[in-house]
Chains A and B, each alone.
Chain A
Amino acid sequence: MESKALIDEIAKKMERSTEDISKLLDGFVATLEERCGDLDSVAIPGFGTFEAKKKTERVTVNPSTGKKMLVPPKIILTFKPSALLKSKLR
């Protein structure tokens, strides 16, 4: 399902314009970005948790060339599905 179809479906269910819905979606993404930028996590009941995690730098070896590479530290956004979502998918 593409983003447009998703927005249309929500708009239909809520009986609101797609503009409103995309605005709300942008608001949610902005909130998520802000919170996860602070390394906080955002929990959505029955769905899962969005969490920012810091990965430390590490040295890897390129298997084809055999060169060592220093991979810098980074913060990544992870999603951990809740037990409810997992059981739905089984």
Chain B
Amino acid sequence: MNIKMTFPELVDAVSAATQSPKRVSEIFLKELFMTIADALRNGENVKVRNLGLFKLTNVEARKSVNVNTGEEMEIPSHRKVTFVPDKALADAINTPFASFDTVVLDDALSEDELKLMAKVEDFDEEYEAENKEVKPIAEHVAEENEPKVVPPVFRPRVIEEVQEEALEEHQEEGPEEPVNDIGKESEPTDAISQESDKIENDEQIQQIKEEQVNIDEQPSVASNIGSGTSEDEDYCIPEDDDEEYVNESNDSEAPKHDGSFTRGFIWGALTMFVLYLVVGGGYFLYQHVKNQEIIDTALGVDSVVAENDIATLDDVDEVEEADKAVKISESVEKVAPASEADAQPAVKAERPTLRYDTVTSTKFLTKIAYKHYGNSDFWVYIYEENRAKIKNPNTIAPGTVVVVPPAEKYGIDKNSKESLRAARKKIQEIESGK
């Protein structure tokens, strides 16, 4: 749209259309317009088949005023050229609107028209209100069911509920929840605990307690799992933390929007926060269990060595116990990857692959497209991607969150003329379809 085709491009296009060498079509085009210009200069009208009529008209001399000096001056009479396109060509260009006819309006209709327009406005407002309530929230809280439906008034209670649920969850599923972080983060603590086990065998019982405390504290410092500190704090999340988190995400990702969207975003942020807590809590619990087992095994083996001389029957029992412990920890590890695949990537995968943006009263699809793809004409792909949400690309309620598809999905390339052309064709189709 509104791209100026230059002469070399025109030459290329004509030679492609007629399968003739570029040199020939270039000379032809130059000759064509030179001949037309010459004929016009000689005072002839030029009619070109399928193209139209170049017509000369006389402009009579008229008086005018020089805008800068205020001097009166006379524009001498001269000729000018006007172009009347051929009927077939004009119709071909007008095809998108060819179906319309001139309609004779009744005199009384003007009032009806007003009513009709008022109705349309009402509808728009309704539509907007609808969207404000549901869409931004639904978008961000796709994983959690409760906040989607609940109106903002009940917010605090719902948070508590969600948190309680989360707690129950990681109390029940704790041992199975753990995350792939364990591979990396638990290594140092494991190593430490095993070492200390070997060295300080005698104070085992005390050691166990101490280590549990250590491990409770260690991951909270080392891990980057948000602001979850210790288990006790899960019950009552500190307000400051909460707000900080929300503010941060607001500042960084959505600088300006109306209230309803902010609410939606808060929900999204809270959900993420709660998820982090669940994951973090699961991780701590797993640490407990695993550590217990490691200590148990160590205990068993050590006591086997120690009691070896004294009692052989006990020995067998101990070994069996140790085996069991090892098996349990193995099975826990087996379960872990399965649940981890559900828990962690689901949280992370949402961000890098799909980007979101918000339509506001000053930022439409075109602006979003320009921001993400470098050319506003690519808005059509965003519309395509969000067809379910956007009924009419010209009237989108402010606050609507749209998915911005990755550029590769539609072959978007701002430097490629083909890509631009395809996008424009699509726009044309959509406009004519309306």
Complex Cα distance, B321 from A55, in Å, reads: 87
Contact of B39 among A1, A21, A26, A35 (CB under 8 A): A1
Contact of A25 among B27, B50, B102 (CB under 8 A): B50
Residues of A with C-beta under 8 A to B4: 40-43, 49
Interface residue? A24 (CB, 8 A): yes
Q: Report whether A90 and B79 are in contact in the complex, using a CB–CB cutoff of 8 Å.
A: yes
Interface residue? B118 (CB, 8 A): no
Given contacts A1-B47, A33-B93, A68-B107, contact A27 B18 (CB under 8 A): yes
Interface residues of B in 1-44 (CB under 8 A from A): 1-7, 10, 13-15, 17-18, 20, 24-25, 27-29, 31-33, 35-37, 39-41, 44
Interface residue? A83 (CB, 8 A): no
Interface residue? B90 (CB, 8 A): yes
Contact code string A1-26 (vs B, CB < 8 Å = 1, else 0): 11100110110011010001111111
Interface residues of B in 42-69 (CB under 8 A from A): 44-52, 54, 56
Contact code string A30-67 (vs B, CB < 8 Å = 1, else 0): 11111111111111111101101000010100000001
Contact code string A64-81 (vs B, CB < 8 Å = 1, else 0): 000111111111111101
Residues of A with C-beta under 8 A to B46: 1, 6
Residues of B with C-beta under 8 A to A47: 33, 36-37
Complex Cα distance, B96 from A70, in Å, reads: 18
Q: Report whether B94 and A75 are in contact in the complex, using a CB–CB cutoff of 8 Å.
A: yes
Residues of B with C-beta under 8 A to A30: 17
A29 to chain B minimum Cβ distance, whole angstroms, is 5
Complex Cα distance, B27 from A77, in Å, reads: 25
Complex Cα distance, B89 from A72, in Å, reads: 19
Q: Report whether A42 and B102 are in contact in the complex, using a CB–CB cutoff of 8 Å.
A: no
Q: Report whether B5 and A42 are in contact in the complex, using a CB–CB cutoff of 8 Å.
A: yes
* Count of A interface residues, CB-CB < 8 Å: 62
Given contacts A31-B17, A67-B104, A75-B97, contact A14 B50 (CB under 8 A): no
Complex Cα distance, B50 from A23, in Å, reads: 12
Q: Report whether A24 and B20 are in contact in the complex, using a CB–CB cutoff of 8 Å.
A: yes
Chain B minimum-CB-distance residue to A66: B107
A89 to chain B minimum Cβ distance, whole angstroms, is 5
Q: Report whether B1 and A39 are in contact in the complex, using a CB–CB cutoff of 8 Å.
A: yes
Complex Cα distance, B389 from A77, in Å, reads: 36
Interface residue? B371 (CB, 8 A): no
Interface residue? B95 (CB, 8 A): yes
Given contacts A29-B50, A43-B6, A74-B97, contact A89 B29 (CB under 8 A): no
User: What would 11 A/B residue contacts be, using CB atoms closer than 8 Å?
Assistant: A24-B18, A24-B24, A25-B50, A37-B92, A39-B428, A40-B4, A43-B7, A57-B100, A67-B104, A72-B97, A89-B56
Residues of A within 8 A of B (CB): 1-3, 6-7, 9-10, 13-14, 16, 20-47, 49-50, 52, 57, 59, 67-79, 81, 85-86, 88-90
Q: A28-B32, A42-B4 are in contact. List 20 more A-B contacts (CB 8 A).
A: A1-B39, A3-B47, A3-B48, A14-B24, A16-B24, A20-B20, A22-B49, A24-B28, A25-B48, A26-B18, A29-B51, A30-B17, A34-B13, A39-B1, A40-B4, A41-B2, A43-B6, A75-B94, A88-B37, A89-B56
